[in-house]
Amino acid sequence: MTEGEPLFRLDWVLQHLDMLWQRIGEHILVTVIAVAAGFVISFGLALAVRRYPFIYGPILAISGILYAIPSIALFVLFIPITGLSLLTAEIALVSYTLVILVRNMVTGLRGVPPEVIEAARGMGYTDRQRLWRVELPIAMPIIVAGLRIATVTTIGLVTIATLIGMGGLGYLIVNIGVQRRFPTATITGVVIVVLLSTAVDLGLQLLQRRLTPWARAHEA
Amino acid sequence: MDFLAQVLAWFTDPANWTGNNAIPLRLWQHLSLSVVSLAVGVAIALPIGLYIGHTGRGARFAVAVSNIGRAVPSLGWLGIAYPISTGLFQRAGIGFLPAFIGLVALAIPPIVTNTYAGLRAVDDELREAARGMGMHELQLLMRVEVPVALTVILAGIRVSAVAVVATAPLAALVGGGTLGAYILQGLALSDEVRVFAAAVMVALLAILTELAFAWLQRRAVSPGLAAAGDASWVEPPQLPAGPAIVPS
């Protein structure tokens, strides 16, 4: 910190609102791509596990190893292949979401009581109807819980992607805050990341309530 | 293959084994920073967790600590520690110190929450029995609650240890060296070989830490509890929704 520089300068924040919005936008974009891609891939894997249960073990083992690799390492490991690109960042981010999402989807689908599946069969549901009208709705709370964790985790990890030039809120923390010794930017970046995670978490919680109206009816 | 040969050449290049950017030096910085930060983190977090878990007082505090721990990104801890450290100690506040402060802050939440959750999950009948045998509070804590909750407590320390080792590379941002220095140098110089070699070392170090603590966890748990299957006295910890483990 340069001599006499205060920890926080509100006037700087107010003067740079445009730049802050731009960084928030970048951050959200990278996060949304990662979570959306992770969700689609996980859903495919979960459906495959539903059909072929024996592949679950290997999937968990591989994704578990990916999960154990520190984000800073995973972000740069693919640079020799994919360069300093959005793709490099997304490979790392999507890998992390897979572990959380696949696990929750499979747990949710496996948690459907056998008698409910029997009943659906008895009513003449085809396999596909049973999946979409019975199993997925019942699994919904656990799937959305996984989505919440995956999204909040990704928002945190995207901060590190600034090291490979992805901007976002990490740019405020590192490139301005730390490298130019300007604590206001660091604090602003961290606060926005925390607010963003909290807001997204609450939003997805509301979504879950909307998606499972019967749970509310049950409470009442 | 050509690239991997270059990486191998980097590892065997004598220039990378001497001087102030040598592999042993960077490894030493990485490990010493991690060990000191984890030790201080445990020294702070364990008593807090034990107190809250044993007395049941301050449970809200434990939940708040765990929520903050999840919401603030690892980079955030280091970023915030930096101006505090330089503000307090000027030039001496660059390097080891801000990294240390940030990593200690990072290490605390998982240990507090797991210690608290582990102790809370101990069966009340077990406590009653211990009190009936005439144990006083400290004996109850040390001889009954901690041994029964040990798996969960050690799991918290393991999560912190891996997070610290995995985040230590970011210390390079605040002048703290570590293997992260190679990553930053490599990114600045577009030296992909250096970046990759460092990333591999960081990943291996994190995985080794994970394995070492998993081994320790198995070794340290009372054989009586291990024999009873999945530690029959311990209910799964009731934590707020979310994973105990977050990639770091």
Task: Give B92's DSSP letter.
Answer: G
Nearest Cβ partner for B206 among A68, A193, A194: A68
Residue A3 within a domain: no
Nearest Cβ partner for B76 among A71, A74, A173: A173
Residue A82 within a domain: yes
Among the listed residues A19, A69, A32, A35, the one whose alpha carbon sits nearest the alpha carbon of residue A171: A19
Answer whether B195's CB lies under 8 Å from B183's CB: yes
**Residue A200 CB partners (closer than 8 Å, separation 6+):** A148, A151, A152, A155
Tens of pLDDT along B89-141? 888 888 899 999 999 999 999 999 999 999 998 998 999 999 999 999 999 99
Q: Which bin fits B94, alpha (ψ -120 to 50), beta or left (φ > 0)?
A: beta
Residue A87 within a domain: yes
Q: Judged by CB atoms within 8 Å, which residues 166-185 of B form the interface with A?
A: 166-167, 169-170, 173-174, 180, 183-184
Residues of A with CB under 8 A from a CB of B: 1, 7, 65, 67-74, 76-77, 79-80, 96, 100, 145, 148-149, 152-153, 155-157, 159-160, 163-164, 170, 173-174, 177-179, 181, 183, 186-187, 189-190, 193-194, 197-198
Regarding an ipTM greater than 0.90, the answer is: no
Q: What are the structural domains, with CATH classification, of chain B?
A: 23-227 (1.10.3720.10)
Alpha carbons A76 and A161: distance in angstroms, whole number: 9
Q: What is the pLDDT along chain A (220 residues), one digit of tens a residue?
A: 455 678 888 889 899 899 999 999 999 999 999 999 999 999 999 999 999 999 999 998 888 788 888 999 999 999 999 989 999 999 999 999 998 999 999 999 999 999 999 999 999 999 999 999 999 999 999 999 999 999 999 999 999 999 998 989 999 999 998 888 888 999 999 999 999 999 999 999 899 888 888 777 766 5
Count the alpha carbons within 13 Å of B45 in the hemisphere toward its beta carbon: 30
Look up tokens 């549901």; give the residue: A125
Residue A29 within a domain: yes
Domain that includes residue A122, residue range: 10-219
Alpha carbons B33 and B40: distance in angstroms, whole number: 11
Residue A4 within a domain: no
Nearest Cβ partner for B75 among A79, A174, A194: A174
Q: CA-nearest residue of chain A to B191?
A: A80
What total of structural domains would you count in chain A? 1
CATH number, domain at A115? 1.10.3720.10
Residue A165 within a domain: yes
Alpha carbons B88 and B101: distance in angstroms, whole number: 12
Alpha carbons B174 and B130: distance in angstroms, whole number: 50
Look up tokens 């001889």; give the residue: B143
Residue A2 within a domain: no
Residues of chain A neighbouring B166 (CB-CB closer than 8 A): 70-73
Tens of pLDDT along B42-59? 999 999 999 999 998 888
Residues of chain A neighbouring B241 (CB-CB closer than 8 A): 145, 148-149
C-alpha torsion sign, points B151, B153, B155, B157: negative
User: Nearest-CA distance from A194 to chain B in Å?
Assistant: 5
